[in-house]
Structure 1
Amino acid sequence: MKICFVVNSVASEGAGTTVYMMYEAWKRKHEVFLMGVGDFSFTQNEALSIISTSLPANSKPETPEEYLEILQGEKAKKLKIVAKDLDVLFIRNNPTEESTGRHWAEQAGVAFGRMVQKEGVLVLNDAFALSNAFIDKLYFEELPASVKPASLITRDKQEILDFFEAHKKKMILKPLEGSGGRGVYLIDKNEKNLNQIIENLSSQGYIIAQQFLPAAKEGDVRVLLLNGKILQKGEKYGIIKRVSGEGEFRSNISQGATPETSELTEGIRKIVKIVGPKLKRDGHFFVGLDVVKDKLIEINVLSPGGLDGLDKIGVDNFSDVIIDAIERKIEYKKLYGSGISNRELATME
C-alpha cells in the first residue's frame, strides 16, 4: 500500500497522532510518505504530483519520535510522486493552526484532496465531506440539540449580551474557527472586559457563545471514532479524559491539561449512538468528539488527535487498529473498483 499523509508542514509536525499512524504503516512495510499542504504540484494537462518526504532505505527507527526525527533530518528522502499512483491520501492538516501569513494553506489540503479523489485515490476523510464540514464548529451545529449545550453563532454584540443574560450570566466565548483552546474565554458576572473580549473575537470572525456546563470544571473526555464507532481494541476504548490544570477551565492538552484514563459511560454511548450514523453517512473515517458528562461540546473531523495521549497513559495508541481498517478499505477497493464511492468506502468496516 502506498499512503501519503498531509500535514501543515513537514518541518513543523510534532510526534503526535499522524506520526503514530505513519510509524505503524511503515513497520508493516507499506510505502509511507509525508507532505505539507504546500507540496502539491499541478501542471495543466498533466497528472497532479506531490513533493513527498519519506525514510531512506536503511532507516531503523524504534519509536514514532525517532521516525519523525529522521523525516525532518537531512537524510530524509525527497521524491516527486504522481498522486494517482497512491492508494491512500490521508488529509491531516489543521487549518486553524496556520499562521496569519499562510492563509493560502488553510484550504489547500482539502482542495487538492478533492482533485486526488477524482483521480481514483482513496482519500480520508472523504475530501468532499471535509469541504462540507470545513468549519467543524459550524458542522457541529447540524447535530441534534439533545446532545449539545445551548449555543449561539454571531458577530452581533447585543445578541451575545442577551445570550449571557438568558444563561444566568455564565457562558463560554470562542472563535468559530479555532482549535487547541486558543481564544476561549469563560465569562461570568464578574468579567469586567466582556465588551473588549467580544470586540477582539469579532475582529477575527464569527463568535460562538456556548452554555457553560458546570461539569466542565472536572475536565472533558476526548472520544475517538472510527467508521462512526468508538475506536476499540479488545476491551479497550479510544477514550481519554483531559483534566484541566489549576485555575484553568480549558481541557486541551496544549493548554496544560493532564491526560487520564476514562470509562465508557452511558452518556458517551448515547452521544455516539446519535452522531455516529451521520458521521459515517457523510464519509468521516476518523473523528474526535469532546464530551462533558452527557453533552458533546466540540467535534473535530479535520485533524483529530489523541493517540499519543492514550499511549502515554498506558491504554494503547490504537494506530494498529486504524491501519488495519485502511488496509481493509484497499482490499474492498480492489474487489469492487469504482462500484463503491469514496464516501462509502471511507467508512466501510
Structure 2
Amino acid sequence: MRLAFFVNDVATEVDEYTTTRLARAAAQGGHEVWYVGVGDVELGESDGQLVGRARAAELGRDDTLEGFMERIKARDSQRIVMDDLDALFLRNDSIEDLQQRPWASPMGVVCGQMLKARGVVVVNDPMSLIRATSKLYLEEFPEKIRPRSLVTRDPDAIERFVGTVGHCVVKPLYGAKGRNVFMIEGKGETNLAQMTEAVLQDGYAIVQEFVDGGEDGDARIFLLEGQPLERDGKLAAFRRVPTGNDPRANISTGGRSVPLDIGDMELGVIEAMSEKLVADGMFLVGIDVIGDKVVEINAESPGGMQSVERLYGIDVCPTVIEGLERRTSSRS
C-alpha cells in the first residue's frame, strides 16, 4: 500500500502524537509511507495530476518515535504523484491553521476530494469532514445521546438559553484544545458577557447544557469504522480528568488520562452512532462522552493514542492500518 499522511507542516510534527504512531505502524507493516504538508502540493505541470513534495517515512530497526520523526524531517523532499497513492490519511488540523494560515485551513478536504474522485481511498471521508470539522456535526445524531444545545452568534440568545437551561458550557463552534471554553454556572452569571465576547471572536458559539458528572472529566473513546477500536482484547479508551481548578479535561490544558472500562451505557451510545458514522465515511473518530451523552465528536485528526499506549502498554495503531488495508483491497 502506498500511503501518505497529510499534515499541517512536516517541520512541526510531534513525535509523541497519534499521526507518528500511525505512520510507524504502517511502516512496520511493510507499506510505502510518505508525509505531505498542506503547503507541499502542486497541480498543473504534470498533466493535471496532483503532485506532492513528500518526505519518506522509513522505519529503522531500532528507531524510537523520536528518531523516526527526526529522520523524516531531515530527509530531502521527493516529488510524488499523489494520484498514484492507494490511500491518503488526512491528519491536518484545519482549526490550528484557521487563525494564522487561513489559506491552509481548507486544503485537507480540498485535496482529499480531488484524490477521492481519482480513485484514492481517503480517510476520513473529505465530503463529510466539511461538516464533521464543526461541532454542529453532533446535532445530526439522535437527541437521546447529546446534550441540549444552541448554536448562535447572538449574545442575547445565549443569555436566554442560559436563563432557561441553567448550568452550561459555551465554546467556539470551530475550536480545539480547550481554547475559549467556559463554564457558566447559570442564570445571573456575572462574567457571561465577557465569556460570550471571547467565544464570539472565533465565530459562532455553541452552548451546551452541562451534563452531570462533567466536573469529573470525560471519556475519550476511539471508534474504527463505527465500532470500538481494540487490539488484543483491549479497547482504545480512557478517561480525561481535569486538574486543579480548571474544569477542562483536555490533555492540552493540563488534564490527565486514567484507565476506563467501557460499560453498557457507553456501548449504547456507540450503537446509536455507529450506522451514521459508517455511512458518512468516518473511518477513525474519537468521541468524548459524559454519562450517556456525547459532548464532542473528534473526526479531524483525532488524537490521544499516546495515552492508550501509556495506560495499557499496547499499540492499537496496527489495527487502524489493517482496517485501511481492507479498504484499499476492497477498492481494488
Asked if the contact 2:89/2:123 (under 8 Å) is kept, the reply is yes
Query: How far off is 1:152 after superposition?
Result: 0.4
Question: What pairs with 1:12-31 in structure 2 (closer than 5 Å)?
Answer: 12-15=12-15, 16-31=17-32
Q: Is 2:19 the partner of 1:41? A: no
Q: Quick one: distance in 1 between partners of 2:62 and 2:32?
A: 15
Asked if the contact 1:55/1:77 (under 8 Å) is kept, the reply is no
The 4+ residue runs of structure 1 with deviation greater than 3 A are none
Amino acid at match of 2:51: S
Asked if the contact 1:53/1:78 (under 8 Å) is kept, the reply is yes
| Partner residue, 2:94 | 95
| Partner residue, 1:276 | 274
Aligned to 1:260, the other structure's residue is in SS state strand
Amino acid at match of 2:21: Y
| Partner residue, 1:64 | 65
Question: What pairs with 1:1-349 in structure 2 (closer than 5 Å)?
Answer: 1-15=1-15, 16-43=17-44, 45-55=47-57, 59-73=60-74, 76-98=75-97, 100-135=99-134, 137-168=135-166, 170-189=167-186, 191-334=189-332
Residues 61-70 or 284-293, more deviating: 61-70
Asked if the contact 2:180/2:198 (under 8 Å) is kept, the reply is no
Query: How far off is 1:232 after superposition?
Result: 1.6
**Cα distance change of structure 1 residues 93 and 242 upon mapping to structure 2, 3 Å threshold:** same
Query: How far off is 1:77 after superposition?
Result: 3.7
Q: Quick one: distance in 1 between partners of 2:98 and 2:130?
A: 20
Q: Quick one: distance in 1 between partners of 2:223 and 2:98?
A: 29
Asked if the contact 1:172/1:187 (under 8 Å) is kept, the reply is yes
Query: How far off is 1:61 after superposition?
Result: 4.9
Asked if the contact 1:61/1:67 (under 8 Å) is kept, the reply is no
Q: Quick one: distance in 2 between partners of 1:122 and 1:99?
A: 26
Amino acid at match of 2:183: L
Q: Quick one: distance in 1 between partners of 2:254 and 2:199?
A: 23
CA distances 1:165-199 after superposition (whole Å, capped 9, x unpaired)? 1123x210100000111110011257432112212
Asked if the contact 2:231/2:315 (under 8 Å) is kept, the reply is no
**Cα distance change of structure 1 residues 99 and 118 upon mapping to structure 2, 3 Å threshold:** closer
Amino acid at match of 1:89: L
Q: Quick one: distance in 1 between partners of 2:254 and 2:275?
A: 33
Asked if the contact 1:56/1:77 (under 8 Å) is kept, the reply is no
RMSD: 1.6
Q: Quick one: distance in 2 between partners of 1:11 and 1:96?
A: 18
**Cα distance change of structure 1 residues 163 and 82 upon mapping to structure 2, 3 Å threshold:** same
Q: Quick one: distance in 2 between partners of 1:315 and 1:240?
A: 13
Residues 151-160 or 92-101, more deviating: 92-101
Q: Where do 5+ consecutive residues of structure 1 fail to align? A: 335-349
Aligned to 1:98, the other structure's residue is in SS state helix
TM-score by length of 2: 0.95
Q: Quick one: distance in 2 between partners of 1:295 and 1:175?
A: 19
Aligned to 1:72, the other structure's residue is in SS state helix
Asked if the contact 2:219/2:288 (under 8 Å) is kept, the reply is yes
Q: Quick one: distance in 1 between partners of 2:57 and 2:263?
A: 41
Aligned residue pair count: 329
Q: Quick one: distance in 2 between partners of 1:232 and 1:165?
A: 42
CA distances 1:84-104 after superposition (whole Å, capped 9, x unpaired)? 111111111111112623001
Aligned to 1:311, the other structure's residue is in SS state helix
Aligned to 2:12, the other structure's residue is in SS state coil
Q: Quick one: distance in 2 between partners of 1:151 and 1:61?
A: 49
Query: How far off is 1:118 after superposition?
Result: 1.1
Q: Where do 5+ consecutive residues of structure 2 fail to align? A: none
